[in-house]
Structure 1
């Protein structure tokens, strides 16, 4: 075999064996940036991002299935690892973001299929991963490994709620079911935020562990706001009882305020990590955890801003989407550099 081909095959095999559970965050980021561009009026560019997200999802799904078949013990170890296990929720969120992207591409059948797939995966791992976290014996408390990736549980839950809110034609039950799951996601946010904050205050923080995943602190509020805006639309159309509208609006605005408050704090974390402690800025999967929250914040502001009472948010969304595009380009450039010049 050609030595170059042998080297490529060896690197691919090693990548499959050590595939990060959160690898689908790249699909989440690409898909939601595409959605934000479409909502801000740049349909052609947004659709290009949506098409790219579709191919990325299919490719990564094949690689994940290959890992499950060839390295099942490694997958099990990752699922029971509190530091990375919640990364598997990116499969759910990516599938449901993809469902929205496919709807933009006018592929309703494929969009519903992606939604059903993501919802079924969520139904399984939303119990399996927390159960493993609690019941699996380990030498030290799981709380010592709590990090921003835990918020992916919230993101995945809200992506299911948003997908159902976007597809109420599936049945009269979907609107209220979407509302119930959205409320569950809000409760999970409060629970997760408490646990992660306690860990950050109780245990030492190091530059290598204070990763970009903490941006999901904000990203999970942003997707909750996006779903909340969809639920407000359903309430306006009478598919959700009108008396719930004020409660949905209040909760949505509260989550938006929390998410916006977090941005300066997250920038401080980045300054502390890369400037004060001089942690090198190089590609890591968790960088997509910056792109996705920015894209989701833009999409949520654009969606909520389409409602007359919140029109000022539309301008904010039009600005943030280009920040998200810049973050996507930067992360992609670092990824290409990593491939061309592996460590």
Structure 2
């Protein structure tokens, strides 16, 4: 019946979403964080609702696939995009912590920490030369844990959690260096969207550094003067490198436009939003108020791109439903695993 074919087709479309779809949660969650940092609380909470709905849908699919198709689950878990499960969860946890929901944020941190070692090992053992920007998701997932750990440490006045986050912060930078060696630089002009994670990994590293700086207090006294100076210097340097990547990647988009929708475009929105959030967070942590205006400009660029990519996703789902999900229905998906 026509009345039931569309929902069935949409369920089939959802079932075929690759692990890269987790970047949609990452992107939406970090836009919510950025809007919160810029003071747009109503918009931030509305965006958070969307991110939570998407996370719940993907989490249910994650669990069902593990139960029903364990071989497929293991195969997809070994791809870099599988780490979006960790990164997306930590981004949501960070936003919940900002709302004062520390118990929920801690639960998401625990869940992420349980998934991270296995997924990181499964992904890294399959690394090779000439990889797409998804290779940097190993750094993003690691730094996501550092960001959420440092945020919770500040909220709960927990020194051990802050020190654990610091270890993850430095580990994330090592992972970034290792990933950079395996990244194919031609992806800058040829990538379908996930090449932006090369910069996004640096922006979440800068955000982690700023959260570690902000976690320190007279009561905790986490870092001595030398350690604090190093954190300030490294965090500022990471933001500069991130902005340099941003400029290069944006220029490449104008030189070689790639306007067709691809699910990996969510991995473009995430670095855009993360760069904005990192800029605003570093502005507060380093007492550099002059960064607030460029941070807000970057935020609205991220919001505009989020809207464009969301519209593309809606069109793809609508076209899939109209074609009844059949191979001969005229729909060619551009999503690659």
- How far 1:3 sits from its partner (Å)? 4.8
State the match for 1:177 in structure 2: 164
Q: Within 5 A, what are the aligned runs for 1:74-153?
A: 74-80=72-78, 85-131=79-125, 133=126, 142-144=128-130, 146-153=131-138
State the match for 1:139 in structure 2: none
Q: Check whether the contact 1:219–1:293 (CA below 8 A) recurs between aligned residues.
A: yes
The alignment covers a number of residue pairs equal to: 317
State the match for 2:250 in structure 1: 267
Residues 315/10 of structure 1: CA separation in 2 closer, same or farther (3 Å cut): closer
Q: Within 5 A, what are the aligned runs for 1:226-237?
A: 226-235=207-216, 237=218
TM-score, structure 1 as length reference = 0.86
Aligned-partner Cα distance in 2 for 1:227–1:216: 16
Residues 287/14 of structure 1: CA separation in 2 closer, same or farther (3 Å cut): closer
Q: Check whether the contact 2:266–2:309 (CA below 8 A) recurs between aligned residues.
A: yes
State the match for 1:25 in structure 2: 23
Of 294, 305, 325 in structure 2, the residue corresponding to residue 316 of structure 1 is 294
Partner of 2:80, secondary structure, is helix
For the aligned residue pairs, the C-alpha RMSD in angstroms reads 2.1
- How far 1:116 sits from its partner (Å)? 1.1
Q: Deviations over 1:275-306 (max 9, x none)?
A: xxxx5x23221111111111111111111111
Tell me whether 157-166 or 105-114 shows the greater mean CA deviation.
Answer: 105-114
State the match for 1:8 in structure 2: 7
State the match for 1:251 in structure 2: 234
Residues 257/69 of structure 1: CA separation in 2 closer, same or farther (3 Å cut): same
Q: Check whether the contact 2:139–2:173 (CA below 8 A) recurs between aligned residues.
A: yes
Q: Check whether the contact 1:34–1:50 (CA below 8 A) recurs between aligned residues.
A: yes
Report which structure shows greater RCO (CA 8 Å, sep ≥6). Answer: 2
Q: Deviations over 1:45-89 (max 9, x none)?
A: 111111221121111110122222232222333344xxxx11011
Query: Would you say 1:193 and 2:191 are equivalent positions?
Result: no
Aligned-partner Cα distance in 2 for 1:232–1:170: 13
Aligned-partner Cα distance in 2 for 1:230–1:206: 29
State the match for 2:317 in structure 1: 339
Residues 103/79 of structure 1: CA separation in 2 closer, same or farther (3 Å cut): closer
TM-score, structure 2 as length reference = 0.87
State the match for 2:67 in structure 1: 69
Aligned-partner Cα distance in 2 for 1:90–1:13: 21
Of 287, 294, 299 in structure 1, the residue corresponding to residue 277 of structure 2 is 299
Aligned-partner Cα distance in 1 for 2:54–2:100: 19
Residues 213/87 of structure 1: CA separation in 2 closer, same or farther (3 Å cut): same
Aligned-partner Cα distance in 2 for 1:40–1:182: 24
State the match for 2:144 in structure 1: 159
- How far 1:6 sits from its partner (Å)? 4.2
State the match for 1:216 in structure 2: 197
Gaps of 5+ in 1: 135-141
Partner of 1:24, secondary structure, is helix
State the match for 2:34 in structure 1: 36
- How far 1:316 sits from its partner (Å)? 1.3
Q: Deviations over 1:190-217 (max 9, x none)?
A: 1111221xx336xxx697x522111111
- How far 1:182 sits from its partner (Å)? 0.0
